[in-house]
């Protein structure tokens, strides 16, 4: 384990090691753990090969948080719902100077330190963390509602530009994932136009843009879910348009958990299986589909194992999803605080172990920076304090286990090592450690 599971045992704080590496002209580092001791190994990192998902752990990147003065004028976007906080957790921003953060007023009169996703320093730091912990690829979420709003699109484009620069600087890859939640087939034209614009502005030509089979990868989340207006015919038209463009795209589909059987959260229309066969990558959504380790084990046996068999037979890459926990009581009052407990990392670890058992070569973590629904794996507030009391923010130790703020980055990094090993070597797609 990377941290203590003893409820009363003192935990350590990760040392601030970048300065040590920088003195040697090395821009990254690795923390090694052995018998409760922490060791440092600097890393020399060559650019990540952006071709192919084999050996890569993908993290969903929302990049939607705002501060006053941002491009597009969105104010405290995603930090506030009206005048009250909408996030379930607070980021740990101890590594950032005050000049790169902003202050959010809390209901009790106090303040919380937050940030803008359009700040290049913030985004660069996020990708430095991805590099440090071995997380290869960021799936940048791009909502149709944003694509259709000129002001919000200005902000999203600014974030995407920072993601591109940070990915190139830190040897990571990235790709666009369109979230079709709340959209209709009538919005397909706006999505196609946005993709064409991104191609024309050179985003897809970045050496860090993820490719699959030589083609730029694009994701679509939300097709095939029960009760949504998209039909198989409309979806087929959208996918053909992306595949048929010059230098057509490879397609990743974020599908319902019950996609293969047309049950549970999936539309029962059998036509959706034909859409799934059009994908290069299938990634069934698991957030909220089980609530504890026992449920995760049942889901693995009843869904993931047969899903992986089906995908392999169809020649499609299977990308299972893991999430650390879930809560959105601040965003959805009355929904229940700490709805799916993290259980001191055990819930997340159980899913990662199950995924390892599948023998797959890629996986998706939901999410890197999702604070609204409490699924973030990046550095967050580890202990309750005055801010938590004012707005009921969840600290990492809410379940009684003391954890450092980067605990979930470490767990994800361990899973990334397994994936790289499954793809043919412990450091494939990653970094090579050099002695201190």
Q: What is the pLDDT of residue 424?
A: 77
Q: For residue 367, is the peptide bond before it cis, meaning its omega torsion is within 30 degrees of 0?
A: yes
- Separation of alpha carbons 288 and 325, rounded Å: 8
- In 144-185, the DSSP E strands lie at 173-179
| Structure token pair of residue 350 | 């159980």
Per-residue pLDDT tens over the stretch 280-297: 999 999 999 999 999 999
Q: What is the pLDDT of residue 246?
A: 72
Backbone angles phi, psi at 96, to 5 degrees: -110, 140
Measuring CA to CA, how many Å separate 10 from each of 3, 33, 64? 10, 16, 35
Report the percent of the chain where pLDDT is more than 90: 80
Backbone angles phi, psi at 364, to 5 degrees: -120, 130
The pLDDT confidence band at residue 388, using thresholds 50, 70 and 90, is: low
Look at 23-37, 208-222, 301-315, 416-430 and tell me which has the smallest mean pLDDT: 23-37
Would you kindly state where each structural domain of the chain is located, as residue ranges? 50-426
pLDDT at 434 over 70: no
First to last CA, the chain: 23
> DSSP assignment of 252-280, as one string?
EEEE-TTTTTT-TTB---THHHHHHTT-S
Per-residue pLDDT tens over the stretch 52-63: 999 999 999 999
| Structure token pair of residue 76 | 């405290």
Query: Do residues 174 and 209 make contact, with C-beta atoms less than 8 angstroms apart?
Result: yes
Q: What is the pLDDT of residue 386?
A: 72
Beta bridge partners of 166: none
- Separation of alpha carbons 368 and 258, rounded Å: 24
pLDDT at 42 over 90: no
Q: What is the pLDDT of residue 432?
A: 29
- Separation of alpha carbons 49 and 211, rounded Å: 9
Q: Which residues contact 110 (CB under 8 A, 6 or more apart)?
A: 386, 387, 390
What is the mean predicted confidence (pLDDT) over 92-104? 96
pLDDT at 44 over 50: no
Of 337, 302, 411, nearest to 1 by C-alpha is 411
Per-residue pLDDT tens over the stretch 391-400: 789 999 999 9
Domain over 50-426 is classified CATH 3.20.20.80: yes
């Amino acid at each position: 384990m990377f941290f203590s599971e003893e409820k009363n045992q003192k935990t350590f704080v990760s040392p601030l090691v970048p300065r040590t590496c920088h003195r040697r002209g090395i821009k990254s580092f690795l923390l090694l753990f052995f018998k409760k001791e922490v060791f440092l190994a600097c890393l020399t990192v060559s650019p990540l090969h952006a071709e192919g998902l084999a050996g890569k752990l993908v993290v969903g990147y929302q990049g939607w948080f705002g501060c006053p003065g941002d491009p597009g004028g969105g104010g405290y976007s995603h930090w506030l719902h009206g005048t009250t906080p909408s996030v379930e957790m607070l980021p740990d921003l101890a590594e950032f100077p005050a000049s790169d953060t902003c202050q959010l007023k809390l209901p009790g009169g106090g303040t919380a330190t937050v940030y803008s996703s359009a700040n290049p320093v913030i985004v660069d730091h996020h990708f430095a963390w991805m590099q440090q912990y071995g997380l290869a690829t960021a799936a940048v979420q791009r909502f149709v509602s944003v694509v259709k709003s000129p002001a919000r699109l200005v902000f999203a484009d600014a974030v995407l530009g920072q993601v591109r620069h940070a990915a190139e600087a830190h040897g990571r890859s990235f790709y666009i994932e369109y979230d079709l939640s709340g959209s209709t087939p009538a919005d397909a034209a706006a999505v196609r136009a946005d993709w064409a614009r991104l191609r024309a502005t050179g985003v897809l030509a970045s050496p860090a843009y993820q490719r699959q089979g030589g083609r730029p990868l694009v994701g679509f989340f939300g097709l095939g879910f029960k009760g949504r207006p998209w039909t198989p015919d409309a979806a087929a038209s959208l996918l053909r348009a992306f595949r048929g463009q010059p230098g057509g795209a490879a397609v990743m589909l974020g599908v319902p958990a019950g996609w293969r059987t047309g049950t549970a959260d999936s539309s029962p229309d059998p036509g959706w299986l034909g859409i799934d066969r059009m994908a290069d990558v299938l990634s069934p959504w698991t957030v909220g589909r089980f609530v504890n380790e026992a449920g995760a084990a049942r889901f693995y046996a009843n869904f993931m194992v047969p899903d992986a068999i089906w995908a392999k037979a169809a020649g499609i890459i299977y990308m299972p999803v893991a999430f650390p926990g879930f809560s959105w009581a601040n965003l959805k009052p009355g929904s229940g605080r700490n709805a799916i407990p993290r259980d001191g990392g055990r819930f997340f670890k159980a899913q990662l172990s199950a995924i390892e058992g599948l023998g797959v070569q890629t996986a998706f973590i939901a999410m890197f920076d999702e604070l609204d629904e409490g699924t973030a794996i990046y550095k967050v507030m580890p202990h309750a304090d005055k801010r938590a009391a004012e707005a009921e923010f969840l600290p990492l130790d809410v379940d009684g286990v003391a954890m450092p703020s980067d605990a979930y980055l470490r767990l994800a990094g361990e899973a990334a090592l397994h994936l790289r090993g499954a793809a043919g070597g412990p450091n494939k797609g990653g970094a090579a450690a050099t002695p201190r």
